[in-house]
Amino acid sequence: MKKIFISVISLAVLLGGCKKDSETEPTPLTPNSFTITISHSVDAQSLYFDSLMYTNEAGYNYSVSRVWYYLSNLKLIKSDSSEIKISDYLFVDAAQSSTCKMNLSSVPEGSYIGIAYSIGLDSSTNQTGALPATVENLQMEWPVPMGGGYHFLKFEGSFIDSSLSYGFTMHIGTNTYLVNGKAWRNFSIGSGNNQINLAMNLNEWFRNPMVYDFDMDGNYSMGNMMAMDKLMKNGADVFNIVP
Amino acid sequence: MLFLVSVTGILSISSCKKDTEETPVPESSYTPTPYELRVPTGWSVPVIPDFNPTTVEGVRLGRMLFYDNILSMNGRSCSSCHHPDKSYSTPVFVSNSGESISVPPLINLAWNPDFEWYGQVPKLDHVPLGDFTPEFFDPNMDTIVARIKAHPLYPRYYYEAFGIKDVGAISSDELKLKSSYAIIQFVRTLISDNSKFDKVMRHETAFTPEEMDGSVTFYTEKGDCFHCHGTPLLTNNVITNNGLDTVFSGENQGYYNVTGRPTDMGKFSAPTLRNIELTAPYMHDGRFQTLEEVIEFYNSGVHWSSPNIDPIMTKPFKEYGLMLSDQDKSNLIAFLKTFTDTSVINNPEYTNPF
């Protein structure tokens, strides 16, 4: 009985597809499962928290104590540069693997050349209380006296400067500093299970197009528009696609 | 002491009387009624484990046990150290090893992910198990079982909450566990959401100009309290080092005592600021007697060189502290006092049932 039901649905989908084909542009939309896993590294090194083992572009040794962010507006990029939106938002805590995975069920089959993403939330969502009151969303709130909404990114740790240890807190928020980026790689989505890995290289926050220097640019981005602007621009290539 | 003896005497007499009037454990089936925990608007879903669902009967039993000294040999009950008028806390507990420990308040714990000052108890339901020790209840389980069995109400209450027909027929560990579960079911109902702060959030009233100014200090980089004490719970539940010390030993080692990781040295759970006016002294060891002292610590006393200090605490241009004026400080304290919620203290559903 279940099989018959599925067949009927499939037939309806196919018929619907045929009808649309003749009327508008081709849209061969066959739902396929697509799992995106998210990993974090610092150049070639794996991410270990609270360990002063990394070096950024400006030459500071640093450790990482927290990486929290919203990954949103994921879009598949086709070879003709058109984009298909496949997700709204995901809260990611790099220390919690359960948050580093997105399971999508209705992703159109086809060949793609990359994925576009935002780190943060678009303006319609970036309003205090717009997201469900989950523990993580409440923890990401951007206080109302400073404009409301949510933190887009909390990237924190410590670094060494002239033999002394200092903290750094790279926080981004407010609509102006929504990070929009793209990651490039040819991949295809077919029937069955599909999976890719989005790999964030934390060092990319500190370089390309601009070197971020804790001493010169500030080790505390909150309330520092120049710092948040730099981080936003550097964030455009923090992800790579790993098949 | 005399008073306690007298009370016990009265209870004994009344228990004898009641024993003859009612059957301790009825033959009715064990069907506890689910207790719907109230979730204030804008709060997240509370954390209730499947192994200890909240029930009307469990909360009733837990409330009695919370205020009763029946589980101890030394006259203590939970309420001996968790006074309702102090937001279910007590000023300071001195451990057997002589260290002072500030007793955390028992409010809104259904929303907490970890417990005690350095997160050493991962499940709230197991926290009361730590009281069945010589240091706290000094229990003799044979005596406790006999007391419960002889009580006019407890046998029926244990049955209706957990299906236990005879507390003497289960192991003492099981009895401790189920007693803990009941106490925590009651504790989960202690919800504080009716302070002036809450009423302002609900647009039922307004802050004074001083409180409003204090809230701006709290919620902006000026005072930067919100990174650790945000959300409606007024804690982000972070376990972190706020720069109190540079050298650590004993309890002061904090989360390190749980994980053994050097990077967790000196880290403690950021507590809720709800009812902070009622829970002096402050910090995990109660080192600060007043809110003024606490504010002055954050204003000028943070030890920047403390290992593993939270990055939030080491802002550039703040080397000399937050540079708050006397007016800023008093306004901030005025704001902190808007977190005081007397309704959670006086709620008749929470008070001593005896």
DSSP letters for A147-167? T-SBEEEEEEEEEEETTEEEE
Tell me how close the Cα of B183 comes to any Cα of chain A, in angstroms.
25
Computed on alpha carbons and rounded to an integer, the radius of gyration of chain A in Å comes to: 20
Tell me how close the Cα of A166 comes to any Cα of chain B, in angstroms.
7
Does the beta-carbon distance from B231 to A138 stay under 8 Å? yes
Q: How confident is the model at residue B228 (pLDDT cuts 50, 70, 90)?
A: very high
Residues of A in contact with B216 (CB under 8 A): 145
Q: Would you say residue A11 has pLDDT above 90?
A: no
pLDDT at residue B318 in the model = 62
Q: Would you say residue B161 has pLDDT above 90?
A: yes
Does the beta-carbon distance from A139 to B216 stay under 8 Å? no
pLDDT at residue B333 in the model = 98
Residues of A in contact with B45 (CB under 8 A): 134
Which string of b and e fits B78-100 if b means at least 16 CB within 10 Å? Answer: bbebbbbebbbbbebeeeeeeeb
Residues of B in contact with A139 (CB under 8 A): 230-231, 236-237
pLDDT at residue A166 in the model = 87
- Tens of pLDDT, residues B26-80: 556 789 999 999 999 999 999 899 999 999 999 999 999 999 999 999 999 999 9
- Tens of pLDDT, residues B242-295: 999 999 998 899 999 999 999 899 999 999 999 999 999 999 999 999 999 999
DSSP H helical ranges for B46-126? 56-67, 78-81
pTM of the entire predicted model? 0.83
Does the beta-carbon distance from B113 to A144 stay under 8 Å? no
B316 → closest Cβ in A65, A144, A218: A218
Q: How confident is the model at residue A23 (pLDDT cuts 50, 70, 90)?
A: very low
By the 8 A CB rule, do A43 and A204 touch?
no
Average pLDDT over residues A54-71: 97
B314 → closest Cβ in A51, A143, A167: A167
Burial of B206 (0-12, 13-18, 19+ CB in 10 A): exposed
B352 touches chain A (CB under 8 A): no
Average pLDDT over residues A104-125: 94
By the 8 A CB rule, do A145 and B220 touch?
yes
